[in-house]
Structure 1
Amino acid sequence: MTTPRGFTALLVASVAFATLVSCGPVTTTTVRKPQLYEWNDDGGPGEVAIRINLETQRASYTRGGRPIGWSYVATGTPGHSTPQGTFRITEKVIDKYSNAYGWIEDEFGNVVNGDAQPSTPVPAGCNYVPAPMPYWMRLTDWGIGMHAGLIPNPGTPASHGCIRLPKPFAPVLFSVVNVGTPVKIVKEKPALPAIPVDDPSSSTTTTYTLSNPTIP
């Protein structure tokens, strides 16, 4: 049986132990965000050209044929596919809003429908808000273009058909392109690296690609 004096001593010891534990080092884990773009434009001679790969969800940028950067993009999801082909920028607008998609929010600004259209019924007390598309660069007459937007999972499509650009990068690209800048959209698997294969009967090394079925 624990005496009152023994109980008090036990309580004091427990509090002291808890204090020591609470003062110990706290371990935290920092999740590193993926790099969304890289830009090395020197502003030298030549026009900017853009190439977007739907397979990798990445765009590459050149000036006069010289590589000057790359970025992740987020293109159309199934049912809202981004068209392939060769296009040119036909319009530039800094503050652009979609006339096809948006969301519905209540009087307090809470989103009650995050994937709405102008024809979507709006509940009483709510408002339809068109989706912002800042740094808009139009590619087609039917509403496909490039603009700043959320890229929730780099490497994965996420849009209604437009090409979303990383938000910090969109104004950078917007500032160096013009109406008429070429944009090529393709769907290609990334090139596989070459593999050096030593020929034991020769002092030279033969290089094959991974797609070559004749590798010895």
Structure 2
Amino acid sequence: MKLAILVSLPVLAALLPSCTPLSDQPAMRAERVMYEWHDDYGPGKVKVNIDLGEQRATYTRGGRPIGWSYVATGIEGRRTPSGTFRISEKIVDKYSNRYGWIEDEFGNVVNGDATPGTRVPPGCTYVAAPMPYWMRLTDWGIGMHAGLIPEPGEPASHGCIRLPKPFAPMLFEAVDVGTPVHITH
């Protein structure tokens, strides 16, 4: 003899709480971890290693790992150079003298890849790209700074090394002029 058990939907939901939504709100999407930072501020200087293939940077202090972050480096045709560099300048609030965008009177971007020499239509304005927490690496304008990383693991810049926005101030405080930055493919 077979026994059939009829259970109402509210009773089933009470019996299987892990299978039911906690609210009527849509499920939240997990955010990707963009960096980890656990500097012990102990002895030794900070060193930065950037892997262009992985689009990730690792950070050490006196040889001890203290963190990592995603970066966005130069796209095809505007590649970030590899080699060993040293931070030669630090500026908290810098703007690019090479790149920016053009926006209309309402703040809508009408040209997202403009230069200071780009023709600006009537009623529009050229806006220099912000590069907060600027750490210069080359004489020709390559550096590390806070910026958008639209797709972690993929290049996206004009050649600079973009750092996650919440992370950039922490790295800026931890490094000095002269800090070595090793960039590899």
Q: Which residue does the alignment assign to 2:38?
A: 40
TM-score by length of 2: 0.86
Instruction: Specify the code of the residue in structure 2 equivalent to 1:98.
Output: S
Instruction: Specify the code of the residue in structure 2 equivalent to 1:112.
Output: V
Compute the displacement of 1:109 (Å).
Answer: 1.3
- One of 141, 144, 149 as aligned partner of 2:142: 144
Q: Which residue does the alignment assign to 1:124?
A: 122
Alignment: residue pair count: 163
Structure-1 separation of matches of 2:112 and 2:72: 18
Q: What per-residue deviation string (whole Å, max 9, x for no partner) do you get for residues 61-120 of structure 1?
A: 000000000000000000110000000000000000001100001111111111111111
Q: Mind listing any 5+ residue stretches in structure 1 that lack a counterpart?
A: 1-24, 188-216
TM-score by length of 1: 0.74
Compute the displacement of 1:27 (Å).
Answer: 5.7
| Structure 1 SS opposite 2:101 | strand
| Structure 2 SS opposite 1:175 | helix
Q: Which residue does the alignment assign to 1:52?
A: 50
| Structure 1 SS opposite 2:171 | helix
Superposed structure 1 runs of 4+ greater than 6 Å apart: none
Structure-2 separation of matches of 1:144 and 1:42: 29
Structure of larger gyration radius? 1
- One of 157, 160, 166 as aligned partner of 2:158: 160
Compute the displacement of 1:26 (Å).
Answer: 3.1
Structure-1 separation of matches of 2:73 and 2:106: 31
Q: Mind listing any 5+ residue stretches in structure 2 that lack a counterpart?
A: 1-22
Structure-1 separation of matches of 2:28 and 2:107: 31
Compute the displacement of 1:142 (Å).
Answer: 0.3
CA RMSD of aligned residues (A): 0.9
Structure-2 separation of matches of 1:163 and 1:33: 22
Structure-2 separation of matches of 1:139 and 1:113: 28
Structure-1 separation of matches of 2:33 and 2:99: 28
Higher RCO (Cα < 8 Å, 6 or more apart): 2
Structure-1 separation of matches of 2:159 and 2:113: 14
Structure-1 separation of matches of 2:160 and 2:91: 15
Structure-1 separation of matches of 2:25 and 2:80: 44
Q: Which residue does the alignment assign to 1:8?
A: none
132-141 or 103-112, which deviates more: 103-112
